[in-house]
Structure 1
Amino acid sequence: MTDDILLRSDADGIATLTMNDPGTLNALSDEMLAALSRQLSDIAASRLRAVILRAEGKAFSAGHHLGQMQRMRQAEDGGRAAFADLFDRCTAVMAQIRDLPQPVIAQVHAMATAAGCQLVATCDLAIASREARFGVNGVDVGLFCSTPMVALSRNVSRKRAFEMLSTGRFLTAEEAEQAGLINRAVPPDRLAEETRALAERVASKLPAAVRIGKGAFYAQLDRPLDAAYELTRDAIVENLMDTGTDEGMQAFLEKRPPRWT
C-alpha cells in the first residue's frame, strides 16, 4: 500500500520511499511516522535488497510536527503522556530502519533538521547534495533535541554533536561528510544518480550476506571486545553456511561471476 504522504516505487530490487508532504517540510507527523512504519514493515518481509529514502519539496525533513505537538498540550496532563507516546513511536520507526534486513540509503537534497537529522543519522548510508544542511536546532525554540542526539552522537564526535545540540549550529554538506554524518556530498544534479549507483551496488551483493552483516554490525558496536568477537564469529559462521556464500567463494576460485538466484 502506498500513502499519498509517502510514495513508494520498486525497481530492480530497490525500493524508493519518497516523503511527500512539502507543506510541512516533510515533518515527522503522526501520519508520516505511521506511513513510514507501514512501508518499512512491508519491505522487511519482501525480497527487495536495498531502500532509498528521499523527499520532495524544500526540505528533506524539518523534524517533528510542532503544530501537532502544541495541540498535545491541551490534555489534562499538559501533554506528558502524548509526548512520551510520540517519541516512542518515532523511536520505533528508527529501530525499524536499524533492524531492516535491507540497507537504507538517505538521499538528502536539502535541509534535514532535528528529528529529520536523526532520520539521516539512523539510515545505514547517506548521500547528500552540496546544498543540503544538517542541524539539531530545537534549542532555538527552547527544546533540546534529546532523542535526535542518540543517533547523531553515534555518527559524529561527542564535541561536534554537543556543539550542534547546544547552539543550534547547522553543518554544511561538506562538514557533514567530514564529521561522518553522511558518506558523500555531491553536486545537486548528480544526487539521484550517485544514490542510485550506491543502491545498485549494495543490491548486487548476496542478500543473506548483507542481512547477516547488517545485523551483526549494529549488534556488536556497543559490546565489549570479547563479546563483539563472539557475536561476529557466530554471524560469519552463519554466513558461511549459506549456499549463496558457497557459490560466491567457488566462483572466485574459478574466476567467474557468482550465479546467485
Structure 2
Amino acid sequence: MALQRKWILILFAAPTVLFYLFFFISPLLNTVYNSLFDWNGLSDKTFIFIDNYINLFQDEIFIRSLKNTFYWVFLVLFVQIPFGFFLAYFLYLKVKGFKFLRTVFFIPVVTSTVAVALVFSFIYEPNFGIINAFLREIGLGHLTTAWLSDELTAMTAVSVPFVWQNIGLMMVIIYAGLQSIPDEIIEAGEIDGVGFFQKIIHIVIPMIKNVLIVCLVLGVTYAFKLFDYVLLLTNGGPIHRTEVTGTYMYIKGFQELNYGYGNSIAVTMTIIVLFLSVIINKGLKSKG
C-alpha cells in the first residue's frame, strides 16, 4: 500500500514538475548558456566565456540602468508598501463604505499598463496636459515643463504611474494578513491603553511580518521586471536618464541583436533578485 501510494503521488506531481522544468528551469539554463557567447541570433555563436559579464560591469549605461532600477526598489520599500499598509489598515478598521473603497483602490491593479501609461502621457503632455494647464491656470506658468523629457523630472514622472497602479496590490495582500490577526489581541492592547501608532508598531506589524516579507519580495521582483512604463513613456530617455535594466536588456537583445549581451543582463538581474530575496527572508525572519 505504501509503495502504491508513493507511485500515485509521483503520478500526480509529475505534470507540475515537468511543466516547471520545461517552462522555467529550461529557459533559465538556456539563458545562462547563451550569455557565454557572442551571438546576434542569426549567425554562428562564438564562445567568449565571461567576457559579456566583464563588459557589462564596465558599461556605464548598464551601471546607470542598475542604479535607476534600485531607485524603483527604493520606491517599493519606502512608498508603495507603506502606503499600501495604511490603506489596508484603513479598510481593516471597517470605515463606512470600506467595501466600495477596497474596490476603488484595487481597480488600478487590474487596469492595463498600456492604458495607464497612455493616460499619464496625456497628463504630462507639455502643451495641453492637465499638469501644465493647471499650473498656467493658477499663475505658475513658469513651472511648466516637458515632464517626460526634462532630465530633472523624467524619473519622478515615470515612477508616479508605477507606484499608483501597484499600491492596490500591496493593500490587498496586507489586508488579507490583517484579517488573520485575532481580535482579542487588538482588544487587549486597546484595554492596556496602547496608542494608535504603538498598536501598529508593536502589535500589528509583528503579527503580519510574514505577509510584509511577501510584499517586499514581490516588490523587489516587480522593480527589476519593470519595463513597460519606461518603454511607453520615455523609452529610457532623456539620455538614458530613465533607463532600467529591463529596457536596456531589450535594447541590446532585440534592437541591437546582441543576444549574448542581452542574456548576460537577464542573468545578472536574476542573480541580484535572488540575492535580495534571500537577504529579505533571512534578515527579517531572524529578527522574529
The alignment's TM-score, normalised by the length of structure 1, stands at 0.26
Determine which structure has the larger strand proportion and give its number: 1
Normalised by the length of structure 2, the TM-score is 0.24
When Rg is computed on C-alpha atoms for both structures, the one with the higher figure is: 2
More helix by share: 2
Higher relative contact order (CA 8 A, sep 6+): 2
